[in-house]
Structure 1
């Protein structure tokens, strides 16, 4: 995968000209974080083209359950039908455009538009349209639906008319977080963080650990990603031996690619915790019952980067979903979702404060450093510097992003 060759980019388009002017091996120029026109292109060519994790399906466990999700200017109703099927619909009445779902979550057999009382079933079909002519075709006026797929308990949506092939993603998730029992997991906690920064600054911060030592002392006490490559390789080899001894096979695979061939980008990789550390917690001690195929701790973590906005972290006793959500050109949100075994009970099997401590502390630190960066990047004198060797995932992400926004 690489950026589209400069000769294939129209220099008459100011955004394409900025892409062509990008200096290889360096960060993005200021305009990519502040130009409203680039933000609009981000929405069309990244967010409307790729798959995004919306939730774990356990948030709507019963027929009739629904929850409302917002991504930028779009609102999506996620609902479970009477037959258990999950539907994703735009919250826009097919009459005059009013929002038909006015509650953030709940259980309902149908949604009634507060404007003119058009009524929709929870699968999006139009149930009733009062005082319309006899020849009115209700079947042609259901709520607009977007593509939805469920894999290993995770609900993904795509705004694309023809979405990218999801089958390879489903297989990758089955052989990674599926081994951790995510399909049978439940949500223990969710936390939304408002960030005063362009969404790309938040994602770029997440994908590299060059900053982990200086910015995350708590995380760095248990996770070894900031160590030299030789030490990481030694720790990883010991981790893989322990995983194999448990009879668990978690497949690492790098399919980080552009969308030109109709494929989604996904990268699954594993890394070790320090010796004696069981999981991601304040002191490395277990915080919840073991999940999936794990009968003991292997001292490792599985990380999954998917589609540009979805990032997953698998520990043997709990899981983390990171969602990055654009709001405006200079604001975004990060949602963190903690997963535990489906039959685990708070207070009996896990202490919520201990379960969430590490990633709450780490994310609060991330919010501060991202916003520090946003204020610095806003300077007219900002000039992007070279990407460090430890930021290889960020470099890959930047190249992928530039390729995507260059691709019609």
Structure 2
């Protein structure tokens, strides 16, 4: 049986409003199809433009089978390349972040310009045509500081996503930001479990005491309550009057969503005391408490934007049972550590929350890959988020596998 038919068989076993069959989290052949149909075909969040301000700056990431380098050229353009030398395949850029005048393969010193052109290849003879051996490009697109990469031969249309998210993100001024702190953890669980866990707060009361100092799940935002609650509608009206789009927008496919939520009473930021972590604001709305703008884009990112800072989260699969989660705390570029913000005050809540979620995901991975596991029903009042993610995943895989 082919991997495609095998995966389709597991997809067909899923009951409506139930979790996924365990094989979809642990089977190596399903993982290969996840990579082939989703990770190797969709736009994947890579990083931020302000991480690559100067020519020669680069960062690297691994998108499934594909090592990628994103580089700022001397012309100011951002480009994504397959991070494999055209000689014998060695990675050209070996560091997570770096800066170089030229991209030099460490193996045999083939040297590439920042636009990918091969400049030097020693001992290759007089008939060797350097023009045929530049670095292979990958698709690269930018929206409001967010860099996305697609390794497919033909990338999906990026413009609908750009058009939807720009009005929401633009007022938060991310183009004037910097990374104040970055942390990566490896969660020993399938990437789908990582996203399912993120999409609900059913587990929050028993697991996230730090986060619940400021975060409150709203039933209307979660799609559970009917209509708009008066207090939520008033909050949205106040923010939108100040130029901050807030009411929920979701892609027809369910792949991305944006909405703004109010925080707990007297809280304005994700901190232990609910007070701002950074003295310099990002937005210019004039509204003291703008809550948190939440946005996700499957399969690779979720994000939170507050008045004083923002957080971006990047999900990358490492295997059927391993996922890399990278979190970046973003602050105004002129904010100074130790003056305008304290690193511990800024990062404590989400460092704790990420580690708590890691343990939950790892425990769940052990359970769902047990031969005895049978998926249970989702709560109608607390788990619409993970159910929506599973619906998107199943619909996407069925559509692509049936082509």
TM-score relative to the length of structure 1: 0.91
Is 1:327 the counterpart of 2:318? The answer is yes
1:56-88 C-alpha deviation (Å, 9 max, x unpaired): 111111111112222344321111111111111
Q: Which residues in structure 2 correspond to 1:1-400 (within 5 Å)? A: 13-225=5-217, 229=225, 233-250=229-246, 252-257=248-253, 265-288=255-278, 289-389=280-380, 390-400=382-392
Deviation at 1:256, TM superposition (A): 4.4
- Quick check: 2:59–2:97 contact (8 Å CA) kept in 1? yes
In the alignment, the residues of structure 2 paired with residue 387 and residue 108 of structure 1 have an alpha-carbon distance, to the nearest angstrom, of 50
- Quick check: 1:311–1:322 contact (8 Å CA) kept in 2? yes
- Quick check: 1:213–1:226 contact (8 Å CA) kept in 2? no
In the alignment, the residues of structure 2 paired with residue 206 and residue 12 of structure 1 have an alpha-carbon distance, to the nearest angstrom, of 28
Q: What secondary structure sits across from 2:370 in the alignment?
A: coil
1:247-293 C-alpha deviation (Å, 9 max, x unpaired): 433463111417xxxxxx32111211122211221121111121133
1:173-220 C-alpha deviation (Å, 9 max, x unpaired): 211121111122111111001111111111110111221222212222
- Quick check: 2:101–2:114 contact (8 Å CA) kept in 1? yes
Q: What secondary structure sits across from 1:203 in the alignment?
A: helix
In the alignment, the residues of structure 2 paired with residue 202 and residue 250 of structure 1 have an alpha-carbon distance, to the nearest angstrom, of 26
Which sits farther off after the overlay, 148-157 or 100-109?
Answer: 100-109
Structure 1 residues 11 and 323: CA distance shift in structure 2, 3 A? closer
1:97-141 C-alpha deviation (Å, 9 max, x unpaired): 112223333221212223322211122111112222434322221
In the alignment, the residues of structure 2 paired with residue 325 and residue 143 of structure 1 have an alpha-carbon distance, to the nearest angstrom, of 23
Structure 1 residues 34 and 149: CA distance shift in structure 2, 3 A? same
- Quick check: 1:176–1:251 contact (8 Å CA) kept in 2? no
- Quick check: 1:125–1:141 contact (8 Å CA) kept in 2? yes
Deviation at 1:237, TM superposition (A): 2.3
Q: What secondary structure sits across from 1:346 in the alignment?
A: coil
Deviation at 1:231, TM superposition (A): 12
Deviation at 1:152, TM superposition (A): 0.5
Counterpart of 1:7? none
Structure 1: give runs of 5+ residues left out of the alignment: 1-9, 259-264
In the alignment, the residues of structure 1 paired with residue 316 and residue 152 of structure 2 have an alpha-carbon distance, to the nearest angstrom, of 17
User: What RMSD over aligned residues (CA atoms) do the two structures have, in Å?
Assistant: 2.2
Q: What secondary structure sits across from 2:58 in the alignment?
A: strand
Deviation at 1:234, TM superposition (A): 4.1
Q: What secondary structure sits across from 2:210 in the alignment?
A: helix
In the alignment, the residues of structure 2 paired with residue 13 and residue 249 of structure 1 have an alpha-carbon distance, to the nearest angstrom, of 43
In the alignment, the residues of structure 2 paired with residue 11 and residue 159 of structure 1 have an alpha-carbon distance, to the nearest angstrom, of 21
Runs of 4+ in 1 over 3 A off after TM superposition: 226-232, 244-252
Q: For this pair of structures, how many residues does the alignment match?
A: 393
- Quick check: 1:224–1:232 contact (8 Å CA) kept in 2? no
Deviation at 1:21, TM superposition (A): 1.8
In the alignment, the residues of structure 2 paired with residue 11 and residue 49 of structure 1 have an alpha-carbon distance, to the nearest angstrom, of 17
Structure 2: give runs of 5+ residues left out of the alignment: none
